[in-house]
Amino acid sequence: MTEQNQTPETENPEVANETHTETTPPTYEELQARVAELEGMLKDEQLRGLANEQNLRRRFQEELQATHKFAAQKFAAEMLIVKDYLEMALLDQSGNFDAMKMGVGMTLDVLKKAFETTQIKEIAPQQGDKLDPHQHQAMQEVEAADVEAGAVVSLLKKGYTMHDRVLRPAMVTTAKAVAAESSETEAE
């Protein structure tokens, strides 16, 4: 039992020397070497981080440019079909008006499908709707007894939105204010 209770220092003097040297504080030169090594590792990591950041920025810019460049590709592909149908209609020399009308109707259906695919929606206000300056453009004012002043009287040209952004406002006629006419008549 006494052999088991003995410390390693007394059993093996070489091991005792090694543990003693490990616990001694490092010299100033050793610390400087270690600091230089750690600074080198830190600088290397910084350079790698900067390079990675630059690569990410470059890839993001390339993807953004590709997105802008090909944003209309889906819609353009749909428009090719419409163009093909219109060209075929112009080449038709049969003189059959009903067939021509049916072909134009089919072409319009393809165009409407393309609009749905790309989320293009019509702005088509009805008579009596309040004028919305964000979606409507008043082209003229007319007298209309059955519609309140400033409201839509008729639609001249449909407007369109794409993803809730106005591509073209609806062009409308609006009702004149009746009160303004009464004061003009009284002034005469």
What pLDDT score was predicted for residue 5? 52
Give the residue, 82 or 15, on which the prediction is more confident.
82
What pLDDT score was predicted for residue 74? 81
Q: How far apart are CA 88 and CA 157, in angstroms?
A: 27
Query: Once rounded to an integer, what is the mean pLDDT over residues 41-60?
Result: 94
Query: Once rounded to an integer, what is the mean pLDDT over residues 99-119?
Result: 90
For residue 144, what are the contacts with CB-CB under 8 A and spacing of at least 6?
153, 175, 176
Q: Please state the three-class secondary structure of the chain as a single string.
A: CHHHHCCHHHHCHHHHHHHHHHHCCCCHHHHHHHHHHHHHHHHHHHHHHHHHHHHHHHHHHHHHHHHHHHCCHHHHHHHHHHHHHHHHHHHCCCCCHHHHHHHHHHHHHHHHHHHHHCCEEEECCCCCCECCCCCEEEEEEECCCCCCCCEEEEEEECEEEECCEEEECEEEEEECCHHHHHHHHHHC
Query: Once rounded to an integer, what is the mean pLDDT over residues 71-94?
Result: 86
What pLDDT score was predicted for residue 22? 61
What pLDDT score was predicted for residue 12? 53
Percentage of the chain lying above the pLDDT 70 cut: 82
Q: Is the pLDDT of residue 20 over 80?
A: no
Q: Give per-residue pLDDT as tens, 133-170.
A: 999 999 999 988 888 888 999 999 999 999 889 999 99
Q: Give per-residue pLDDT as tens, 113-142.
A: 989 988 899 998 999 899 999 999 999 999
Q: What does each C-alpha distance from 130 to 40, 125, 136, 149, 169 come to in angstroms?
A: 71, 9, 10, 9, 14
Residue 4 φ then ψ, to 5°:
-75, -30
Give the residue, 93 or 132, on which the prediction is more confident.
132
What pLDDT score was predicted for residue 96? 87
Q: Which of the four pLDDT bands, split at 50, 70 and 90, describes residue 180?
A: very low
